[in-house]
Structure 1
Amino acid sequence: MQFCISGYKKHYIQTLKLGGPIMLGQLGIIIVGFADNIMVGHHSTGELAAASFVNNFFTLAFIFGIGFSYGLTPIIGTLFANQQYQEIGATLKNSLLINFIVGILLSLCMFLLLLHIDLLNQPEELLPYIIPYYILQLFSIIFAILFNSFKQFSDGSLDTQTPMWIMLGANILNIIGNYFLIYGKWGFPELGLTGAGISTLGSRILTLLTFGILFLYGNKYKPYLTGFRKGTINRFHISRLIKIGLPVGLQMGVETASFSLSVIMMGWLGSIALAAHQIVGVVTTLGFMVYYGIAAAVTIRVSNFMGKKDVPNIRRASFAGLHIILLVAVLVVIFIFCLRNQIGYLFTTEKEVVMLVALLSLPVMAYQFGDGLQILFSNALRGIRDVTYMAVAAFICHFLLSLPIGYFCGFVLNWGALGIWCGFPIGLTTLGIILYYRFNRLTRL
């Protein structure tokens, strides 16, 4: 046992050192999500329900775009391990272009959805809140995706702190902007949910501008700047980014789509179910973002070992990340269990919503371990650039397991909102097991 611990000890330390800033940055997003929903929920329950509808659809667009940009991390990690700094700069230049194109395409898709939003049969009284907030989110897609391209470049070159500080600073300004614009403080107009949308758009523009200025003028990035300026847009870089990024984007998009489509089913149950779904969705990101921070560090470390063709350390780094994630999952389950009856009151005073949040906490606790498992091994596979298999597995588990089970339990068995959430523990745990066996087989070979 002592031998095993000593073999993993350095991997625990390095993973936490890299993943800590990523986790803090992601926790900053959670805090903003909590603040947004608390402020909006106390302004009106109708606006909270509208935010649930819009955010879940835009999460699909954002997650696909961010997932696509994740294709940059293992490429940068491998180049960084071999000290190919000019090639890193040239790859970043191509990444920004292809991610800009992806941002435009996603914006067009979301615009078409807005034109046909009446087909989704959402409560009529929510549309005055939904439409302006939807438009503001639409404009912010490109800024979020381009910033993440810079972030993945920085993470892959082992600098996880710069993106963390930029994200935390922007999140603080976002919360302050929410306070002013939602409630109309200090002479600002009282805009409710629309004010939250304006503040979010402003913070996303700020993150991109800040990172762009730091990259162009900061000493830290000088080794990459020459390659960035001299590098050309070419088929080799673009095709390599698409080959890795597209399956990752699809895999993450499929997972998010299953949650987003469940929002439509929640809308069939009314505003109370939508509001409760939004609250539980924000709470469950607590575990997801921490798992992601650890798993992202695993991707960085695995891609570095991949560049050195060091398979034993690829395995050790991955399983060290798994150990940390399983420990965090235990803490998340304990946290949700202890506070399940109080969480809803942070967002609203309506007792019916609070009671439904407590009920939906049960399936959320049930899928924490499966969620951590699938996040860890999808990122480990990303580090070794085996991404197509996990996209197919994600489609099967989410669209052929999670959603059908949720519909069956929710409407055939008539379990309502609880039934809709029952599909997620089964789908996520199955996916985690499949990806574990895939990674284990490839690295043993």
Structure 2
Amino acid sequence: MNTHYRALLGLGLPIVIGQIGVIVLGFADTIMVGHHSSVELAAASFVNNMFNLAIIFSTGFAYGLTPVVGRLFGEKKTFETGQVLKNSLLANTVLAALVCALLLALYLNLDRLGQPDELIPYMRPYFMVLFVSLPFVLWFNAFKQFSDGITDTKVSMWILLGGNLLNIIGNYILIYGKLGLPEMGLTGAGLSTLISRILMVVAYVVLFFFTNRYRHFRKGFSTGKINRADFTLLNRLGWPIAAQMGMETASFSLSAIMVGWLGSTELATYQVMIAVSQICFMMYYGMGAAVSVRISNFLGQRDFYNVNRTANTGFHIILVMIICTSVPIYLLRHHIGGWFTDDASVSLMVAQVIVPFLLYQFGDGLQINFANALRGIADVRPMMLFSFIAYFVISLPLGYIFGFTLNWGITGIWMAFPFGLTSAGIMYYLRFRYKVKTLGNARY
């Protein structure tokens, strides 16, 4: 068992550190925009939630590559591993075109979604800059899932940290108009994000094609063919994961629309809480990704006993992470809002919303761990149904009931999330337990 803890920590900590870089970026974005203008903070809240839905949906699709690469790597098939990366880049390009088409339709209807009128002039330019950056997110995801799948998690860590550091520096320069550049506010934050996303893809391209690190896989990429078998497999695995993650994120993004009905102060509060929630989500997900990679490696070796042990060990580690994040967040609940904005009403509202946020941490950790465990064994289709039940049948209706029918406002909307996330976690756990039992070689 100790071997599993050491292996998961060794594999997962670089992913977690890379995710912390994303967290720091989210904090920096929100703090800089919030102190520049609370109106821009509210506008960023809405746009970011819409793009988070698109990005996490697309990231879920890219996760379909991880079990494929992990299994091939476990079987030491380097040519096939390089070839499947080539097919994954094509699949992600097709998905980028589809997602961009949907986002363009959303952009054309921004003024029809019931958001405060004063926010629309800030939303439109910021939306379009992030729109241009989206294909680079998908290409980066393909390279990242490839390197993670072959257990080379440190590469994505360093690229994420470097890209996010550049993004933060760019934010400061472009938001506030430093180094002789014009003060661009929220649009400047978007431009900084676009530049950093382009450079992160360039970094992966240089590493893959011009260094010795991935030379064993380049032949498969260069001479391997775009083929229906790989393309179909990646879509068969990727779409259910994208749907599962997309529905989870949609429960937050659609809740942001409901929060917008309450007013700009509530929407600014929601953006602060999303930034806080990403601390926990990204850290747990980093360890969950390691669980998926390690399980897929054991699946390639047909070692189902260690498939099961890896999932259990991963959840133990995530439980410790839950405690380590929840305690300081609770103790600092009256101070967190002030880090992001000078608006006292936003700070007070943040302190109230912290309590329902902490209530769903166990459920969030449970669903992250066992969703990734199911991805590791490539059992992804049932998660679509479980996610629909958890987020669209349970969470979103409860959010409306608590927030508007019972008049609990933004606190009521957040109170629905513990029900959705915990129910999803229980369903994923029961499915994984059943599936591993049917595969045999597992002990409970």
TMscore range, shorter length: over 0.9
- Give me the whole-angstrom Cα distance separating, in 1, the residues matched to 2:336 and 2:374: 35
Q: CA deviation at 1:158?
A: 0.7
- Give me the whole-angstrom Cα distance separating, in 1, the residues matched to 2:233 and 2:371: 19
SS of the residue corresponding to residue 403 of structure 1 reads helix
Q: CA deviation at 1:292?
A: 0.4
Paired position in structure 2 for 1:374: 367
Superimposed CA distance per residue, residues 135-188 of structure 1 (whole angstroms, 9 cap, x where no aligned partner) = 011011100010010000000001000111011001111000000000011211
* Selected match of 1:296 from 277, 289, 298: 289
Q: CA deviation at 1:37?
A: 0.4
Superimposed CA distance per residue, residues 115-146 of structure 1 (whole angstroms, 9 cap, x where no aligned partner) = 01111011111111100000011011100010
Q: CA deviation at 1:223?
A: 0.3
* Selected match of 2:341 from 319, 343, 348: 348
Matched, 1:182 2:175: yes
Structure 2, unaligned stretches of length 5 or more? 439-444
Paired position in structure 2 for 1:306: 299
Instruction: Give TM-score scaled by structure 2 length.
Output: 0.98
SS of the residue corresponding to residue 206 of structure 1 reads helix
Matched, 1:233 2:230: no
Superimposed CA distance per residue, residues 81-131 of structure 1 (whole angstroms, 9 cap, x where no aligned partner) = 111000001000000001011011101110011001111011111111100
- Counterpart residue identity of residue 35, structure 1: A
Matched, 1:248 2:259: no
- Give me the whole-angstrom Cα distance separating, in 2, the residues matched to 1:352 and 1:116: 30
Paired position in structure 2 for 1:160: 153
- Counterpart residue identity of residue 191, structure 2: I
- Give me the whole-angstrom Cα distance separating, in 2, the residues matched to 1:215 and 1:42: 40
- Give me the whole-angstrom Cα distance separating, in 2, the residues matched to 1:93 and 1:392: 30
Matched, 1:423 2:382: no
- Counterpart residue identity of residue 262, structure 2: L
* Selected match of 1:279 from 264, 267, 272: 272
Q: CA deviation at 1:196?
A: 0.1
SS of the residue corresponding to residue 59 of structure 1 reads helix
Paired position in structure 2 for 1:137: 130
Paired position in structure 2 for 1:10: 3
Paired position in structure 2 for 1:261: 254
Paired position in structure 2 for 1:50: 43
- Give me the whole-angstrom Cα distance separating, in 1, the residues matched to 2:405 and 2:336: 29
- Counterpart residue identity of residue 210, structure 1: A
- Give me the whole-angstrom Cα distance separating, in 2, the residues matched to 1:280 and 1:179: 22
SS of the residue corresponding to residue 342 of structure 2 reads coil
Superimposed CA distance per residue, residues 292-313 of structure 1 (whole angstroms, 9 cap, x where no aligned partner) = 0111000000000000110110
Matched, 1:362 2:355: yes
Identity %: 52
- Counterpart residue identity of residue 125, structure 2: P
Paired position in structure 2 for 1:5: none
* Selected match of 1:126 from 116, 119, 128: 119
Q: CA deviation at 1:376?
A: 0.3
- Give me the whole-angstrom Cα distance separating, in 1, the residues matched to 2:199 and 2:352: 38
Residues 240 and 384 of structure 2 are in contact (CA less than 8 Å); yes or no, is this contact kept in structure 1? yes
- Give me the whole-angstrom Cα distance separating, in 2, the residues matched to 1:176 and 1:67: 29
- Give me the whole-angstrom Cα distance separating, in 2, the residues matched to 1:358 and 1:145: 35
Superimposed CA distance per residue, residues 251-279 of structure 1 (whole angstroms, 9 cap, x where no aligned partner) = 00000011000011010001000000000
- Give me the whole-angstrom Cα distance separating, in 1, the residues matched to 2:139 and 2:328: 34
Matched, 1:270 2:274: no
SS of the residue corresponding to residue 219 of structure 1 reads coil
* Selected match of 2:392 from 396, 399, 412: 399
- Give me the whole-angstrom Cα distance separating, in 2, the residues matched to 1:428 and 1:206: 35
Residues 110 and 120 of structure 2 are in contact (CA less than 8 Å); yes or no, is this contact kept in structure 1? no
Paired position in structure 1 for 2:320: 327
Q: CA deviation at 1:387?
A: 0.2
- Give me the whole-angstrom Cα distance separating, in 1, the residues matched to 2:89 and 2:110: 31
- Give me the whole-angstrom Cα distance separating, in 2, the residues matched to 1:406 and 1:73: 34
Paired position in structure 2 for 1:111: 104
- Counterpart residue identity of residue 204, structure 1: R
- Give me the whole-angstrom Cα distance separating, in 2, the residues matched to 1:154 and 1:237: 18
Q: CA deviation at 1:332?
A: 1.6
SS of the residue corresponding to residue 99 of structure 2 reads helix
- Give me the whole-angstrom Cα distance separating, in 2, the residues matched to 1:169 and 1:189: 25
Paired position in structure 1 for 2:442: none
Paired position in structure 1 for 2:52: 59
- Counterpart residue identity of residue 355, structure 1: L
Matched, 1:388 2:371: no
| Structure 1 range deviating more: 378-387 or 330-339 | 330-339
Q: CA deviation at 1:391?
A: 1.5
Number of equivalent positions: 438
- Give me the whole-angstrom Cα distance separating, in 2, the residues matched to 1:426 and 1:332: 20
Structure 1, unaligned stretches of length 5 or more? 1-7
- Give me the whole-angstrom Cα distance separating, in 2, the residues matched to 1:334 and 1:44: 30
- Give me the whole-angstrom Cα distance separating, in 1, the residues matched to 2:90 and 2:83: 11
* Selected match of 1:169 from 162, 165, 173: 162
SS of the residue corresponding to residue 280 of structure 2 reads helix
- Counterpart residue identity of residue 58, structure 1: F
- Counterpart residue identity of residue 206, structure 1: L
Report the aligned-residue RMSD. 0.6
- Give me the whole-angstrom Cα distance separating, in 2, the residues matched to 1:117 and 1:126: 10
Q: CA deviation at 1:207?
A: 0.4
* Selected match of 1:210 from 188, 203, 215: 203
- Counterpart residue identity of residue 384, structure 1: I
Q: CA deviation at 1:392?
A: 1.0
Paired position in structure 1 for 2:139: 146
SS of the residue corresponding to residue 182 of structure 2 reads coil
Superimposed CA distance per residue, residues 188-240 of structure 1 (whole angstroms, 9 cap, x where no aligned partner) = 11000000000000000000011011100110100000000111111100000
